[in-house]
Amino acid sequence: MNNKASNAILLALILTVSAFTISNASTYYISYSTGNDDNNGLNPASAWKTFDKLNFATFNAGDEIYLKRNDVWNQTLKLQGSGTSEKSIILDAYGDGNRPQIKLNYCAKDTCVEANNISYWTIRNLDLRNALRGMNIRYGMVKAYKVQISECDFYDMNYSTQDGKTVGIGLCIEGEGSDRFYDAVVKNCKFTRCVNGFAINIGTQNLLCEDCVATGGLSAGFALVNVRNSTIRRFTVTDGGGNLPYGTCAGFIVWSDGVTIENCEFARYKNDGGHDGVGFDFEGNSKNIKFINNTIHNNSGAGIMVMSTSGHNSNILIKDCKLYNNCTSSYDEKSNYEMLCWNNGSTGTIENCTIYKDKASDYIHPDFCNFTQSNNQFKTYQDFINQQKK
């Protein structure tokens, strides 16, 4: 056989192994403890061992991928391909015991699960640890639909460069352009010791994020950038913060429109002598935001901070919220308010809120002058303590 023929056959073999598309809907099983990559992966008894074959596959509508419970992998899982509105692609767990775990090596570039341009995926029951990103979903200039992520745990994405420009994120969804990402669902997820728990930075419509918990993070439990017509509810963010160059907050929103944030808790965020350490940060250039029935308490800085870093906010509704014992160690006297506003160009409404002040200089900063204020109650923290005793 001549060299040209040999090279052609070798190239064909390489392409076949390195990038295959699964044409018919199939179910695949992966078990690090019992699998073997020489198996066909089509049932638990013939499971694959590693992610090697998955990582070069493009999945199609109806495909299902199952990782064995109680197993642990030290390898990035890569996902590509899209389902349809009738048949999504499923990534889930099988068997009994703890969720399947992907545990990496704290490397500044590690990602446990990496996905590009995916649509119509349902991802459930993963335990992701010790990486820069737990799950990183990235989009180019494409439109994507209905990625659902639930019952996933993210631990120890706590890497941060000194300048704060590269930080760990539990679940990161990012991309280019506006109005690119539709109908995503994130629910019943837990973020522990992640610099940012859930961060989304892509033109997003109709996101639903609910019933999540973030604890021990250096920065935001959730950060919303360029999000439209979406709902965040029952998200609890506690016991985090620190001294980052750009400040810290439990929750964050910027460049967004038509978002409702309701029935959440933002508590015990510290600044360690640095900036902020606030409960919730309206960073700027957001409009038509409803911030309703949230509880913000025991933070180093203000309970709520409204800024104009990226432009003034407009039509911000802060309603039925409870704030108490914030400003436990404010960065300076100018920021020592339960509700803090930097620059008086933002507009909105503050109504039916109850604020219990202790160490704060005052309840509502004067730069809220363009907010309509009605039916708010101003009390002392001692009043709050007395109520809890009853």
pLDDT tens-digit map of 9-58: 444 443 344 445 454 679 999 999 999 999 999 999 999 999 999 999 99
- Is pLDDT at 242 greater than 80 in this prediction? yes
Is-contact 172 209, C-beta < 8 A?
Answer: no
Token pair for residue 338?
């339960």
328 to 113, 273, 297, 321: CA distances (angstroms): 38, 11, 10, 19
Query: Domains in the chain, ordered, with CATH?
Result: 60-389 (2.160.20.10)
- Is pLDDT at 2 greater than 90 in this prediction? no
| pLDDT score for 359 | 86
The rounded distance, in Å, linking the Cα atoms of 300 and 290 is 24
As a whole-number percent, the residues of the chain with pLDDT over 90 amount to 77
- Tens digit of pLDDT for each residue in 327-386? 998 877 788 999 999 888 999 999 999 999 998 889 999 999 999 999 999 999 888 888
| pLDDT score for 12 | 42
- Is pLDDT at 312 greater than 90 in this prediction? yes
Output the DSSP codes for 225-265: EEEEEEEEEEEEEEEEE---TT-EEEEEEES-EEEEEES-E
Is-contact 210 235, C-beta < 8 A?
Answer: yes
| pLDDT score for 176 | 82
| pLDDT score for 387 | 86
Is-contact 171 189, C-beta < 8 A?
Answer: yes
The rounded distance, in Å, linking the Cα atoms of 316 and 304 is 12
Q: Please report which residue ranges of the chain form alpha helices under DSSP H.
A: 3-18, 381-389
As a whole-number percent, the residues of the chain with pLDDT over 70 amount to 93
| Closest CA relative to residue 135, chosen from 162, 105, 155 | 155
- Tens digit of pLDDT for each residue in 185-238? 999 999 999 999 999 999 999 999 999 999 999 999 999 999 999 999 999 999
> What would the mean pLDDT of 150-154 be, rounded to a whole number?
98
> What would the mean pLDDT of 163-178 be, rounded to a whole number?
87
Token pair for residue 197?
């728990």
Q: Which residues are 171's β-sheet partners?
A: 135, 198
- Is pLDDT at 7 greater than 90 in this prediction? no
- Is pLDDT at 254 greater than 50 in this prediction? yes
The rounded distance, in Å, linking the Cα atoms of 304 and 297 is 10
Helix, strand, coil % over all residues of the chain, rounded to 5:
10, 50, 40
| pLDDT score for 153 | 98
pTM above 0.75, yes or no: yes
- Is pLDDT at 146 greater than 80 in this prediction? yes
Between 121 and 2, the higher pLDDT residue? 121
- Output DSSP code: residue 318: E
Token pair for residue 318?
């802060």
pLDDT tier at 6, thresholds 50, 70, 90:
very low
